[in-house]
Copies of this chain bind each other. A is one copy, B any other.
Amino acid sequence: MADVLADKTAPPVQSAGAKGARTRDRILDVAYGRIVEKGYSATSIEELVEAAGITKSGFFYHFRDKNDLARQLIDRYLGEVETALDALEARARELHDDPLHAFLIFMKLYAEAMEEMMALHKGCLVAAITYQDRTFAPDVRQANADGVNAWRRRFRRWIEEIAAVHPPKRAVDLEAVADQLNVVADGSIIMARAVDDPAIIARQALLQRELIRMLFGG
């Protein structure tokens, strides 16, 4: 109870000095949007600080150099996605004990979350970085790869758990099945953007859900 009150009166949860962290986050927010829209090289520090309401030298107080911006951006992004996935998975597993049905519920939540996310920032940072990766220092590319592999492991464990209970109707590569979740997510974002039709993302997620149900379902 005391904690709750403390949380209410205290400034918004921020690790270091609140003001600095807030501007830093503002820069990261703008950077995310621009990089996904136009690419990393086409996004200048000047336009970021203008949008964030500080000067160019203020930027270099928060970031060692431009590559450091990319580094912090991907760290924050991967962290956010991981906690979001954790929450969705926990909710889905709460609603159903059977791993297959929990997974089908998860996919529904996941599709909704994707749509919501696309309404805000229209793209996936990992995909954007991947398609410009030779511009980045090795640390950024490594963080990117690590993030994708973490997603893959999550889905792979779950799919194998499902297959143990519901043997698949066809002999398929279970790792590929797990990977297809990320594959379809990134691929459908690209198509949605290319032809400017956001509805494609949800339709692809729904189809994929149906195929999973067909593969493992009774």
- Which residue numbers of A lie inside 8 Å of B, CB to CB? 36-42, 123, 126-128, 130-135, 144-145, 148-149, 152, 169-170, 172-173, 175-177, 179-180, 182-188, 190-191, 193-196, 200, 203-204, 206-208, 210-211, 213-215
Contacts and interface: CB of A to CB of B under 8 A. Distances in A.
Contact of A39 (B41, B169, B213): B41
Contacts of A38: 41, 132-135
Contacts of A41: 38-39, 41-42
A138 to B, nearest CB: 12
A42 B41 CA distance: 6
A204 to B, nearest CB: 6
Nearest to A126: B194
A4 B141 CA distance: 51
A40 B194 CA distance: 16
Q: How many copies does the complex hold?
A: 2
Nearest to A127: B190
Given A131-B193, A180-B204, A185-B187, 17 more contacts: A37-B134, A38-B41, A38-B134, A127-B131, A130-B194, A145-B195, A169-B214, A175-B203, A176-B203, A176-B207, A179-B191, A179-B200, A183-B183, A183-B188, A183-B191, A186-B190, A187-B187
Which are the 6 A-B pairs with shortest beta-carbon distances?
A187-B187, A183-B187, A39-B132, A41-B41, A41-B42, A176-B207
Nearest to A133: B193
22 contacts: A36-B131, A38-B135, A39-B41, A39-B135, A40-B42, A42-B132, A42-B135, A131-B131, A131-B190, A148-B191, A148-B194, A148-B195, A172-B207, A179-B188, A179-B203, A179-B204, A180-B204, A180-B208, A182-B187, A182-B191, A184-B184, A186-B190
Nearest to A214: B170
Given A39-B39, A184-B184, A173 B131 contact: no
Contacts of A144: 194
Contacts of A127: 131, 190
Contacts of A211: 172, 211, 214-215
